[in-house]
Amino acid sequence: MDRTRNRLLACAALAALLPLAAPPAAAALYKWIDANGRTVYSDQVPPGVKAEPVGAAPPPANPNAVKDLANQDAEFRKRQLERAEDGKKTEKARTDSAKLATLCAQARAQIASLRTEQVVVYRLNEKGERVVMDEAARRAEIGRVEAMMRERNCPAGG
């Protein structure tokens, strides 16, 4: 009885290990219907039989995939550069606008100061000496500052 049991265990172990020892099948597997109407699977198709591959390898990769990916990458990089340039332009416009606003505010303050008669305004002469501005000099300076504001398109008010 032990002998039979040992043989049974040996056969079961051999049956379990046999699939592991078999080399992997590299040949394709085909399926077709034979003359008796039975479905047949085999790695060899008889002549004159219409067979379809079963578990076939996946279709070959797109030969243009690398080129398509490179084009997509180039387009992506181009869009990134355009966004970066747009960002720089926007930042430059914002900075220029802030500088213009500051300049215009200073010009308006200067004009307001020149128009106030209670404030004594000085300017430097050719020798670098301080000289009090008279009414005509004040009007001329106001005209010069207003012209500069028009050149720079300063917004009204402020």
Per-residue model confidence as pLDDT tens digits over 88-135: 999 999 999 999 999 999 999 988 888 887 878 888 889 999 988 888
CA 74 to chain centroid, in Å, comes to 11
Token code pair at residue 107: 């010009």
86 lies in some domain: no
Q: Is residue 129 part of a domain?
A: yes
- d(Cα 44, Cα 34) in Å, to the nearest integer? 13
Domain total of the chain = 2
The answer to the question of residue 32 being in a domain is: yes
Contact assessment for residue 61 and residue 86, using Cβ atoms and an 8 Å cutoff: no
pLDDT at 75: 95
Q: Is 4 domain-assigned?
A: no
Residue 13 lies in a domain: no
Q: Which domain holds residue 151?
A: 93-158
In a domain, 7, yes or no: no
Q: Which of 6, 37, 57 is the last residue of a domain?
A: 57
